[in-house]
Amino acid sequence: MKKDIQKEIEKTLNSLDGIQRAEAPAFFFTRVQARLEKRSQSNSPVFFLVKRPALLVAVLTVFVVMNVVLITQLAQPVRSQAPAVAVKGSLQDFAKAYGLGNDNINY
Amino acid sequence: MVYNTVLAMVQDVQEAEDVCQEVFIQAFQGIRQFRGDCRLQSWLYRIAVTRSIDQQRKAKTRNRIASWKNRIGLGNPEDVPEVTAFHHPGIQLENKERAALLFRAIQQLPANQRTAFTLIRVEGLSYQEVGEVMQLSVKAIESLIQRGQERLRKILHEYYSDNS
């Protein structure tokens, strides 16, 4: 009985003798190539953003906020006139102080 | 060569193809990191073995979670795959059943013994080549094979004792 079990064990251990190599399935390398191409495509910057919707939303939000800030700043022309008047006044003062006014010229 | 090793390690045709594809993609993307300190073939075998062991680990975890879920009544019974006999396509017909039994026993070996045994007995590599793949000395490989065979004998002994 014990001898029989030992025999069976030896036979089973030797059952891999003469094993042939398994071949890869048909079109295996075509599939590998397709997978490689797919991966290289998904590594492009566009796919990088598409794969991360949170990042995409954040980038778009920053873009919109920057545009809104820029537009609101451009839509305030009144503020820019006040310093011009002040500059004009100070120039006249400067001309008066140094006698550069038209009234002082004698031909 | 890669497919044969992966198939013997993962023991599932569909999973073997997936793992094999991953091996080639990893090799293609990491070819610049290949330092040339071993043969390209050994480097490829190393990737194949590592990937196969990872895959088996993931599959085991997946099955364990599925069976836990089933036990507490949350899972789907179909998620737990049935243990089916693996028939390697390169086995001679008269040895088919015995080889299936041996492959099932090999699955119970620790990862390093399983790797050494598979590379020698299925892939037909020499001890030195396996040492290069596993980055171990020839003596260490011999020891792994010896311990692996002892363990296999024990597993098979239990099987035949229960079924005789």
Q: Does this complex have an ipTM over 0.95?
A: no
Determine the 3-state secondary structure of B123 from DSSP. coil
**Chain A closest-CA separation from residue B71 CA (Å):** 35
A18 touches B at CB < 8 Å: yes
Is residue B138's pLDDT more than 70?
A: yes
**Residue B24: CA count within 13 A, CB half-sphere:** 20
Asked if B102 and A12 come within 8 Å (Cβ–Cβ), the reply is yes
Q: Compare CB distances from A22 to B89, B101, B152 and report the shortest one's residue.
A: B89
Asked if B17 and A21 come within 8 Å (Cβ–Cβ), the reply is no
Rounded Cα gap, residues B159 and A106, in angstroms: 129
Which two tokens mark A41?
């495509």
Q: How far is CA B27 from the centre of its chain?
A: 19
The pTM (predicted TM-score) of the whole model is 0.67
Rounded Cα gap, residues B39 and B53, in angstroms: 21
Q: Where does the pLDDT of residue B119 fall: very low under 50, low under 70, confident under 90, or very high at 90 and above?
A: very high
Q: What residues have CB less than 8 Å from A41, skipping those under 6 apart?
A: A47
Determine the 3-state secondary structure of B107 from DSSP. coil
Across chain B, mean pLDDT equals: 87
CA distances from B33 to B39, B45, B70 (A): 13, 15, 44
A4 touches B at CB < 8 Å: yes
Residue B57 region, left (φ>0) first, then alpha (ψ -120 to 50), else beta? alpha
Q: Which residue has the tokens 């599932």?
A: B12
A103 touches B at CB < 8 Å: no
Q: Which residue has the tokens 């879920």?
A: B69
Is residue B122's pLDDT more than 70?
A: yes
Q: Compare CB distances from B98 to A5, A12, A18 and report the shortest one's residue.
A: A12
Q: Compare CB distances from B102 to A4, A16, A21 and report the shortest one's residue.
A: A16
Q: Where does the pLDDT of residue B59 fall: very low under 50, low under 70, confident under 90, or very high at 90 and above?
A: confident
CA distances from B11 to A81, B48, B144 (A): 82, 14, 21
The full set of domains in chain B, from first to last, is 2-162 (1.10.10.10)
Determine the 3-state secondary structure of B16 from DSSP. helix
A14 → chain B, closest CA residue = B99
So where are chain A's domains? 28-71
